[in-house]
Amino acid sequence: MRATSHTRVGGRAEVSMRGRVVFSVDAAVDLQDDVGVTALSYASENGHEGVVRVLLGAGAKVDSIDTHRRTALTHASTMGHLSATRVLLEAKAALDLKDNTGTAALMAAGRDGHASAIRVLLEAGVTNNISPGPRSYGG
């Protein structure tokens, strides 16, 4: 088993294994693309737990929203990525933020059939986002 840690030193994110820094980066971790998506949201959507930890350790805003008002938690839950979802919850991600369609993480996980993500979110205390807002189909 590997002993890995993720720390923040000033504006620098570091990943260490067995006490030795193996990866270090200076970056503006909350930069957004043309639709407002951050590296944290992309990493969460793709289930890259280690990258999520590094970005949070470097100071990424856990509840940054994109132009659709989606957060990293919504992205992780929508795709059913439990490890990324858990890391975001450990970092105190807001449980009830809703996107432009009125959908929060729990609803997104349910819509896309991710029972395990629903369980993790309910265990974390999701209570206020079980009634959907306006629905959007397509586009």
Residue 133 contacts residue 107 (beta carbons within 8 Å): no
Has residue 39 got a pLDDT over 70?
yes
Strands 12-17 and 20-26: antiparallel
Task: Note whether residue 15 is domain-resident.
Answer: yes
CATH code assigned at 107:
1.25.40.20
Q: Which domain holds residue 70?
A: 4-124
Give the tokens for residue 50.
């280690």
Q: Return the pLDDT at 129.
A: 53
Q: Among 84, 83, 87, 135, which residue's Cα sits nearest to residue 108? A: 135
Q: Return the pLDDT at 137.
A: 40
Has residue 3 got a pLDDT over 60?
no
Which letter does DSSP use for residue 98 in this model?
A: -
Give the tokens for residue 9.
């030193």
CA distance 107 to 57: 28
Task: Note whether residue 101 is domain-resident.
Answer: yes
Task: Note whether residue 55 is domain-resident.
Answer: yes
CA distance 36 to 53: 20
Has residue 122 got a pLDDT over 90?
yes
**For the segment 50-63, what is each residue's pLDDT rounded down to a tens digit?**
999 988 988 899 99
Task: Note whether residue 138 is domain-resident.
Answer: no
Give the tokens for residue 18.
């067995």
Has residue 136 got a pLDDT over 50?
no
Task: Note whether residue 93 is domain-resident.
Answer: yes
Q: Across the chain, what does the average pLDDT equal?
A: 82
Kindly indicate the confidence band of residue 45, based on its pLDDT and cuts at 50, 70 and 90: very high
Task: Note whether residue 135 is domain-resident.
Answer: no
Task: Note whether residue 129 is domain-resident.
Answer: no
Task: Note whether residue 90 is domain-resident.
Answer: yes
Q: Return the pLDDT at 11.
A: 56
3-state helix, strand, coil in the chain (%, to 5): 35, 15, 50
Lowest mean pLDDT among 22-26, 91-95, 135-139: 135-139
Number of domains in the chain: 1
- What is the average pLDDT across 88-101? 94
